[in-house]
Amino acid sequence: RSGGMSNELNNIISRTTDGVYEGVAIGGDRYPGSTFMDHVLRYQDTPGVKMIVVLGEIGGTEEYKICRGIQEGRLTKPVVCWCIGTCATMFSSEVQFGHAGACANQASETAVAKNQALKEAGVFVPPSFDELGEIIQSVYEDLVARGVIVPAQEVPPPTVPMDYSWARELGLIRKPASFMTSICDERGQELIYAGMPITEVFKEEMGIGGVLGLLWFQRRLPKYACQFIEMCLMVTADHGPAVSGAHNTIICARAGKDLVSSLTSGLLTIGDRFGGALDAAAKMFSKAFDSGIIPMEFVNKMKKEGKL
């Protein structure tokens, strides 16, 4: 009847038998939602249940229904039961034991009277709660000896993972890297670009184009592709001092700003009209080509739209 005591009862049964098939706490209310007999009869009809354990308490008459069930032949499986609250007889007046229904309003509702009635009906009743585990084990072992119960194999308990901070302190794990790269590798004795040691890069004289092929495309490019990359770099290496980016950088430097600030002022001017003009032009050319218009029409159209 007690939800809290059901935890201890499950513990006792688990330590003295091969486990609990099902456990229900009906609660100690005066008018519970279900009764002992509701569940005891259900367990009687459940093939997996071989013995029934009931933990009653002072107050109410539910335990007497179990007695009648045994006497009428409705309950044939072994029943172990104990009603807690036997200490109530030590008090000169009635005592309310926590639960709303844990109070004996008449002699038949005392724990002592119910334990005696259960014992006379053929229920296995221990002398005290302390010996409940022993009598459960005794009934269980008898059922095993008679072949009624085939003990289930003990399931190995799941491994509890080690605490992260403790495992890290022991050096078993480490915090994952915040930044990762699959292009270059600096962990060993030699720098590696896309799987190729830097000494091999120098030995084969791959040049800037070959290195950029490894870093940008993660592969070795053919000679003509490397030459094309190097040609692009040579052509675009310097646009001179007149473009807006260089001009702004020069002005900031003459104004006494530091190198980083001067460079940043020039970089901030990059957009579709400078620096990024190649990207914008490529998009425009591609769109014009896909549309099938001739260059003259394209130029006139861009001028009309104010983009040239």
Residue 239: active-site member = no
**Nearest alpha-carbon partner for 266 in 252, 253, 249:** 249
**Nearest alpha-carbon partner for 129 in 188, 73, 228, 54:** 54
Please report, for residues 29, 48, 49, 190, 216, the alpha-carbon distance to residue 52 in angstroms, rounded to integers and kept in the order given.
Answer: 22, 11, 7, 73, 73
Radius of gyration of the chain (CA): 44
Helices marked H in 124-206: 132-145, 164-169, 198-203
- Which H/E stretch holds residue 197? strand 196-197
Record the tokens describing residue 204, joined without a space: 């084969």
**Nearest alpha-carbon partner for 39 in 30, 50, 52, 28:** 52
Between CA 131 and CA 140 the distance in angstroms is 14
Per-residue pLDDT in tens (0 to 9) along the chain, 308 residues:
777 888 999 999 999 999 999 999 888 777 778 889 999 999 999 999 999 999 988 878 888 999 999 999 999 999 999 998 887 676 655 655 554 444 556 778 888 899 999 999 999 999 999 999 999 999 999 999 999 999 988 888 899 888 988 888 898 888 877 777 878 888 888 999 998 999 999 999 999 999 999 999 999 999 999 999 999 999 888 877 878 888 899 999 999 999 999 999 998 988 877 776 777 888 889 999 999 999 999 989 888 888 77
Instruction: State the number of CA atoms in the 13 A half-sphere of 296 facing the CB.
Output: 0
Between CA 173 and CA 165 the distance in angstroms is 9
- Beta carbons of 49 and 43 less than 8 angstroms apart: yes
pLDDT value of position 5: 85
Domain range summary for the chain, segments of one domain joined by +: 3-145, 163-230
- Please pick, among 39, 99, 239, 247, the residue that the annotation labels catalytic: 99
Give burial (CB, 10 Å; 0-12/13-18/19+) of 180: exposed
pLDDT value of position 240: 79
| CATH number belonging to domain 3-145 | 3.40.50.261
Record the tokens describing residue 158, joined without a space: 């799941």
Between CA 99 and CA 97 the distance in angstroms is 6
